Amino acid sequence: MSFYNEIEKFKNFDMEKYMNEVTYEEIRRSIKKEKLTKFDFLNLLSPMAKDHLEEMAKESQRRSIQQFGKVISLYIPMYISNYCTNECTYCGFNKNNKIDRKHLKLNEIEAEAIEIAKTGIRHILLLTGEAEGLVGVDYIEDAVKILKKYFDSVVIEIYPLETEEYRRLGEIGVDGLTIYQEVYDEKIYKSVHLGGKKADYMWRLETPERGAKAGLRSINIGTLFGLGDLVEEAYLSGLHAKYLTDKYLNSEFSISLPRINDAEGGYKSKYILDDASFVQFVLAYRLFLPKAGINISTREIAEFRDNLIGLGVTKFSAGSKTNVGAYSDLEKSTPQFEISDNRSVEETEDAIRARGYQVVHKDWELIL
């Protein structure tokens, strides 16, 4: 019994027919409901719901404030290695891309950590590519031990691990993991993941569950908007979050909305997620998943991110650099994706406060 069953069921679902038959009344009712079903979620994702964004936004804001207060948590991503044996057609670190590869030694990781800690950020996201041998669990473990000296919360966004490996990292201080399915549509998944272990769809799909079974407290998932049909991917990623939330009561689940931008991969996206749809998805996620965190990275421009603040988002990255060794200004390597919000941590914090929200660096619930 895994989430794959839901995906299979969905393969037989006539999405187009459903969307053509959704009515205004159904959408309004879905907005007002306390507990939404997956059909309510679909209603909110429908094209017609675009006429109800303000109503959805008001309800979303109300519930978010009730659940989370007026708070945005901040974190910073740190890339420690961009060597990768996978061949994802949309990614800057694709094995076949001729880019500047870099892999930090432990002392370099420490130098990075020291620089980042100066910003006051206490929550760090550790990222690597997938390269067996070079970026093994021992390396990750050593890196985490260093980072725990400077940060209260360490989350990893690396390649999928075994449950035991998550458990081991959990014991030395990893709070959680981020893993994006990238695309839930199985066929498209195969077509964009041409080589390396990442080509294994099921292995990736079941990763969040392994993390939860290992006792990791916070698990962040998402689809990469631009690879597959936008509404379908929003739907399945939302369903995935709901499935995990209902099944694993000891973990907190959050969702991100990365949308493809120009990267070194040169991937030309067939599906473009425009701003209005982005906002619609944020609101739909919030109403369908009242307790889920919603995480927005610096892929989004400053102004847009700030406008999202009242709409149900809970976490921002700030002062981000996505190239390896960027913070301590080591030899320049190639970034994974383009940063659009270039503000410093301080500027980001000011913007959050200007909206009447409080900045949180440390999530007290995660203190062990």
Interacting residues toward other proteins by CB under 8 A: 53-54, 57-58, 61, 275-276, 279, 303-304, 307, 310-311, 356
| Residue 102 and residue 336 in contact, taking contact as beta carbons nearer than 8 Å | no
DSSP string, 212-268: HHTT-SEEEEEE-BTSS-HHHHHHHHHHHHHHHHHH-TTSEEEEE--B----TT---
For other proteins, the closer of residues 272 and 276 by Cβ is 276
For other proteins, the closer of residues 32 and 105 by Cβ is 32
Residue 217's nearest CA partner among 250, 244, 247, 245 is: 250
Q: To the nearest whole angstrom, how small is the minimum distance from the Cβ of residue 108 to other proteins?
A: 41
For other proteins, the closer of residues 261 and 307 by Cβ is 307
Report in angstroms the alpha-carbon separations of 129 from 35, 88, 232: 38, 11, 27
Q: To the nearest whole angstrom, how small is the minimum distance from the Cβ of residue 152 to other proteins?
A: 31
Q: To the nearest whole angstrom, how small is the minimum distance from the Cβ of residue 24 to other proteins?
A: 17
Residue 150 backbone dihedrals phi, psi, to 5 degrees: -110, -15
End-to-end Cα spacing for the chain: 31
Q: To the nearest whole angstrom, how small is the minimum distance from the Cβ of residue 333 to other proteins?
A: 34
For other proteins, the closer of residues 7 and 49 by Cβ is 49
Q: To the nearest whole angstrom, how small is the minimum distance from the Cβ of residue 274 to other proteins?
A: 9
| Residue 253 and residue 292 in contact, taking contact as beta carbons nearer than 8 Å | yes
For other proteins, the closer of residues 114 and 301 by Cβ is 301
Q: To the nearest whole angstrom, how small is the minimum distance from the Cβ of residue 22 to other proteins?
A: 20
For residue 232, give the amino acid letter.
Answer: E
Report the DSSP pairing between strands 293-296 and 315-317. parallel
For other proteins, the closer of residues 80 and 311 by Cβ is 311
Task: State how far Cα 121 lies from the chain centre.
Answer: 18
Q: To the nearest whole angstrom, how small is the minimum distance from the Cβ of residue 283 to other proteins?
A: 9
What whole-number distance in Å separates Cα of residue 88 and Cα of residue 323? Answer: 18
Instruction: Specify the DSSP class assigned to residue 50.
Output: G
What whole-number distance in Å separates Cα of residue 114 and Cα of residue 330? Answer: 13
For other proteins, the closer of residues 62 and 268 by Cβ is 62
